[in-house]
Amino acid sequence: MPRVSGKLVKQAARVSPLLPYLLRANPSLAQAQQELKWIQAELPKHQWKNAVKRRNAYEPLQYILESQPFGSLDIICEKGVLIPRWETEEWCLKLSSVLSILGKKNLSILDSCTGTGCIPLLLNYELNQLANLNSHIRAFDISSDAYRLSKRNHQAYSSLHPSSATNIKFIQANLFSESIVSHVGIQCADLITSNPPYIPAHHYHKSVGLDGISRSVREYEPAEALIGHMEFYEALINNLVKPLSASGFVFELGYQEQADYVYRMLKDTEEWRVGVLKDSASNIRCVLGWKSNSPMRVLGQLCSSIYS
Amino acid sequence: MLAYHRASQRLIQSLSNLHQKFYFSTTASINSIPKKNKLPPRPKWLIKEEEIDEKFIKGGRGPGGQKINKSNSKVQLTHLPTGIVVTCQYSRSQESNRKRAREILALRLDEQQNGEKSRTSIVNERKTKLKQSKTKKANRKYRNLQEEKNNQLVENENSDQSELSPEEEFELFLKQYSKEKEIEVEKDESNDNNNNNDNDK
């Protein structure tokens, strides 16, 4: 982390005595001011000082404010559970828009490694609250912290949108267990979504400049939600997609080789098509698959490139 | 003579009409602060999604996803036909920033297309007029207060003059009393005179 210059600190102190604390996490004064505005808007006055001090120690703003906007929803965030990212929000909204246009009722959707529950809750809101498609959504996570938080988020959701809250169910389960399908309690699913841990262990301890991760993420967000590689995609295909005879999937990822790996797993089956989606920062972000004879072929519209 | 009379009457009438018109128009322009619920609507119809290039600025390129946790969600819209660029990052929510950026862009397009009749200029006009009328009212209020104060001061001065010490008042009373006495004495005298006259008769 580059040292914050004394000049900038003085400049910030002139605006507000709280502002210099935010400079370590925000390289520019304008960004720091923006964060201070959010802190002052969302927290009571007596917590401001403590909040900026926590931010000075690189704690993520979402843990301090205890929430992160996700689509039209506000997701509660807690230490120990991964904070929803804007990239996830982006593909989730794209996915729900093509599914709403498809307009197929009674879809069965399963979300693995759900964390806060942001993906299933946003899909539920878009498909069942707005488009009235009566989809059945289940979501699970191995971590008990995540399970508890997803239940809390579900409760918050149902107080705002009680009519669609019953279409979704959260479970605590392990993706790698052989009995995962019976544990989840469904025989088949149309669509599997997931944002599994996808940072290889050798990148986890490096800095951003060296393909690594930012200090704030390493020090505050749970490693078990971050460190992972091919084994997760293998388990998602073998333990969920195949046994549930799903006809489509969307998995978030961070590397081209992870998408290639998924493609290689399904290459030999005639019916599967696989493509990748880029986020608006033009980084590769998702691998998508669909059976070419199923309604899930609409997923092809989301892809920037399709394997052939 | 008759023709002349008619002509002059017409002239007077037209003059008074003119006066009325003039008078009417001035009061109208002063008093016509547009009502808040009668402002032109937000020009959302000017936004056509196919004419917009939308970008999400997350502070430069580089890795994203789980590796980094960005809290800002700046939205930048470029209106392709005119080249107007608008950014918005007032909220943490990308959704509300997208909505707000579109509202801002719509207002900018409205300004460009409708000039003085655009929503922004009418809203601004309303604001200045409200301010003017507020200062006017305030001025009027303080002028009245000042006048009242002045009047009171004058009255106080007058009453100061009319106020008398008890001794003076007593003297005044005595004077009045003695005057009354005199009148009574005079009356008696006159009565006496009358009597005398009677006697004379």
Closest to A69 (Cβ–Cβ): which among B58, B61, B92?
Answer: B92
Domains and CATH numbers, chain A: 6-57 (no CATH), 70-306 (3.40.50.150)
B61:A281 CB<8 A: yes
Residue B52 parent element (H or E): strand B52-57
Quote the minimal CA–CA distance from B68 to chain A in Å: 5
| CA quadruple A208, A212, A216, A219: dihedral, nearest 10 | -150
Q: Indicate if the pLDDT at residue B30 is higher than 70.
A: no
Distance CA B8, CA A182 (A): 106
Answer yes or no: is pLDDT of B183 > 80: no
- Strand A248-252 and strand A191-194: the pairing is parallel
pLDDT at B56 over 70: yes
B13 vs A159: which has the higher pLDDT: A159
Who among B89, B91, B95 is closest to A72 (CB)?
B95
Under DSSP, the state recorded for B163 is: -
Residue B200: predicted pLDDT? 47
Which stretches in chain A have pLDDT values below 70?
1-2
Chain B contact set for A60 (CB, 8 A): 69, 71
Structure tokens at A95: 């996915």
- Which string of DSSP letters, residue by residue, matches B53-111? EEEEE-SSSS--GGG------EEEEEETTTTEEEEE-SSS-HHHHHHHHHHHHHHHHHH
Residue B25 has pLDDT above 50, yes or no: no
Average pLDDT over residues B45-59: 80
Q: Which residue has the higher pLDDT, B181 or A272?
A: A272
How high is the mean pLDDT of chain B?
A: 77
Pick from B55, B67, B73: CB nearest A217: B67
What pLDDT is attached to residue A178? 87
Residue B94 has its nearest CB partner, among A89, A203, A208, at: A89
B95: nearest CA partner in chain A: A71
pLDDT at B31 over 80: no
Task: Find, among A24, A11, A13, the residue nearest to A56 by Cα.
Answer: A24
B chain contacts of residue A75, beta-carbon cutoff 8 Å? none
Mean pLDDT of B173-189: 74
Residue entry with tokens 């579900």:
A154
Considering only CB atoms, A87 lies closest to which of B55, B65, B72, namely B65
Q: Round to whole Å and give the CA distance between B18 and A265.
A: 90
- Predicted local confidence at residue B26, as pLDDT: 47
C-alpha of B47 from chain center: 37
Tell which B residues from 35 to 64 touch A, by Cβ distance under 8 Å.
55-56, 58-59, 61-64
Q: Are strands A108-112 and A191-194 parallel, antiparallel or unpaired?
A: parallel
From chain A, the residues in CB contact with B67 under 8 A are 199, 203, 208, 212-214, 217, 254
Chain B segment 64-83 residues within 8 A of A by beta carbon are 64-73
CB contact under 8 A, A216 and B69: yes
CA A112/CA A175 separation, integer angstroms:
7
AA letter at A281: A
Give the model's confidence band at B201: pLDDT under 50 very low, under 70 low, under 90 confident, else very high: very low
CB contact under 8 A, A254 and B93: no
- Convert the pLDDT of each residue in A61-82 to its tens digit: 999 999 999 999 999 999 999 9
- State residue A43 phi and psi, 5-degree precision: -115, 150
pLDDT for res A33: 92
CB of A225 within 8 Å of a chain B CB? The answer is yes
Interface test with A, best of B57, B58, B71 (most A CBs within 10 A): B71
What pLDDT is stored for residue A155 in this prediction? Answer: 96
Residues of B in contact with A254 (CB under 8 A): 63, 65-67
Nearest to B68 among A88, A208, A252 (CB): A208
- Smallest CA–CA distance, residue A142 to chain B, in Å, is 18
Of residues A159 and B45, which shows the higher confidence score? A159
d(CA A202, CA A204): 6
Cβ contact B130:B33 at 8 Å: yes
Question: Which residue of A216, A254, A282 is in closest CB contact with B65?
Answer: A254
Q: Is 0.85 exceeded by the ipTM?
A: yes
Residue B1 banded pLDDT, cuts 50, 70, 90: low
Q: Which residues of A touch B68 (CB under 8 A)?
A: 208, 213-214, 217
- B155: pLDDT confidence band, cut at 50, 70 and 90? confident
Of chain B, the percentage scoring pLDDT greater than 90 comes to 14
Give the separation between CA A147 and CA A167, rounded to whole angstroms. 17
Enumerate domains of chain B plus CATH numbers. 44-62+69-117 (3.30.160.20)
Q: What pLDDT shows up at residue A92?
A: 95
Run of H or E including B131: helix B119-162
Give mean pLDDT, residues B16-36.
Answer: 57
A145's tokens = 């912290």
Check pLDDT > 80 for residue B62.
no
Copy the structure tokens of residue A119.
Answer: 């993906």
